[in-house]
Amino acid sequence: MQLLSESSGALPSLYSPLSDLHAGGVLSGLAPASYICSLAQKLSVKYVYPWTVMISGFTMHGDALKSLNLFSQMLNDGVRPNEVTFLGVLSACCHGGREGHLEEAIEDMPTEPIPGVWGALFGACMLHKAYGLGAHIGEQLIRLQPDHGGRYALLANLYSTCQNLQAAARVRKLIKWKGVEKTPGQS
In a domain, 102, yes or no: no
In a domain, 158, yes or no: yes
In a domain, 157, yes or no: yes
The whole-number average pLDDT for the span 18-23 is 50
Number of domains forming the structure of the chain? 2
Instruction: Say what the pLDDT of residue 5 is.
Output: 41
* Secondary structure letter of residue 111 according to DSSP: S
Domain interval for residue 153: 112-187
Rounded-to-integer distance, Cα 182 and Cα 187, Å: 8
Residue-wise pLDDT for 102-152, tens only, equals 677 677 676 777 788 788 788 878 887 889 999 999 999 999 999 999 899
Do 78 and 118 lie in a common domain?
no
Do 119 and 186 lie in a common domain?
yes
Residue 165 has pLDDT above 90, yes or no: yes
Q: How confident is the model at residue 62 (pLDDT cuts 50, 70, 90)?
A: confident
Do 1 and 80 lie in a common domain?
yes
- Better pLDDT: 31 or 73: 73
Do 76 and 136 lie in a common domain?
no
Rounded-to-integer distance, Cα 88 and Cα 94, Å: 10
* Cβ burial, residue 13 (10 Å; 0-12/13-18/19+): middle
User: pTM value?
Assistant: 0.55
In a domain, 182, yes or no: yes
Q: How confident is the model at residue 78 (pLDDT cuts 50, 70, 90)?
A: confident
Sign of CA dihedral 110, 111, 117, 119: positive
In a domain, 98, yes or no: no
Q: Are 43 and 83 in contact (CB under 8 A)?
A: no
The overall longest dimension of the chain from CA atoms, in Å, is 63
Do 118 and 185 lie in a common domain?
yes
Do 55 and 126 lie in a common domain?
no
Rounded-to-integer distance, Cα 73 and Cα 134, Å: 28
List b or e across 15-52, with b for residues whose CB sees 16 or more CB atoms inside 10 angstroms. eebbebbbeebbeeeebebeebbebbeebeeeeebbbb
